[in-house]
Amino acid sequence: MNFTDLARLETARRPFVLCTVVDTGGSTPRLAGSRMAVEADALHGTIGGGEMERRVAEAARALLADARRHADTWSAHLVRDLGMCCGGQMKVFMQKVEPAPRLWIYGAGHVGTALAAAAQGAGFAVTVVDARAEWADPTRFPADVTVVDAEPEDHLKATPPPEDAFVVVVTHSHPLDEALIRRLLEAPPRYLGLIGSRGKWARFRQRLSARGVTDEQMAQVRCPVGLDIGAETPAEIAVSIVAELVQARRGPKRAPDQWR
C-alpha cells in the first residue's frame, strides 16, 4: 500500500480507514510501518493476512461506520488471542480518512465571503456562486475556494449540488433566495440553510406551499441559518453558520426542526 494508492482513494472521495502497524514483538507476518486501507466493501494492501487481518478489517469497518470516532488502536497476541501460528504481538493504529464535506454557497456578498473563509478553515470544500463579477472575484477568497461567476439559478439547473452537500443560500435578492430554495427542495441536499428572519421564512413558506411544496419538504430548511449566538456582523454570522454546519456534520442524527 503506497501513497499513490492512498491519493487515488482520496481523489475518488471514498471514505476509508488507514491501518498502520505501529509496533510488533516476536514473530509477526509484517513489520511496523506496513499499511492497509479498509473501505466498507474492499481492502487495499495487506498487513499480514489471516485471522489477524480479518479482525483488523472488522474493527476498521466498525470505526468507519461510527460518526463519533475518528481513530482507534487494535492490538493482540497472535497465538493467545487469535490462535495463529506466529508467536508475536502486533499493534495497529486505525485512522479514518474522509473526503472533505462539500459546501455550496449561493451569494458572494459580505456574509457569503466571510462564510467561505470560515468554512474552508473548518475543513469544508467550498464553492461560491454569484453573477456579480465584482463580488465573484477569486482574489476575495482563500485560494482553495472555488468561485463561479454565473447566475445562481442557471448554475443550479446545470450543476445541482450532490445529495451529500451542505448548501447555504445568502444572496442579495429575496426573490432569488426563494427561487433557489424552491429548486433545491426538489432534491434536498444533506443540509440546506437560508439567511433571513423568521418573518421572511414565514412568507416564503406561504408562497412555497401555494406552489405545492409540502411541509415535510420545507422542514428541511434551516432558517434563520446558524446557531443562535447573538451574531450581528458578517464575520459573527459566518461563525454561527459554520458552528451549525459542524454540528450537522459531527453531531447525532436528528430532524431539522430539532436543531433549535
Least confident stretch, 41-45, 84-88, 187-191: 84-88
The domain made up of 102-258 is a member of CATH 3.40.1190.20? no
User: What proportion of the chain, given as a percentage, has pLDDT over 70?
Assistant: 95
Residue type, 230: G
Q: Are 174 and 200 in contact (CB under 8 A)?
A: yes
- Average pLDDT (184-213) is 94
Element (H, E) at 105: strand 102-106
* Residue-level pLDDT at 157: 95
Cα 205 to Cα 102, 213, 260, distances in angstroms: 27, 9, 18
Which grid cell sits at 125?
Answer: 470544500
Ranges of CATH 3.40.50.720 domains, the chain: 102-258
- Non-local (6+) Cβ contacts of 248 within 8 A are 166, 190, 191, 259
- Non-local (6+) Cβ contacts of 131 within 8 A are 149, 150, 151, 152
Q: Are 140 and 112 in contact (CB under 8 A)?
A: no
* Residue-level pLDDT at 86: 66
Using the predicted structure, report yes or no on whether residue 132 has a pLDDT greater than 60.
yes
C-alpha dihedral (111, 112, 118, 122), degrees to nearest 10 = 140
Q: Are 198 and 224 in contact (CB under 8 A)?
A: yes
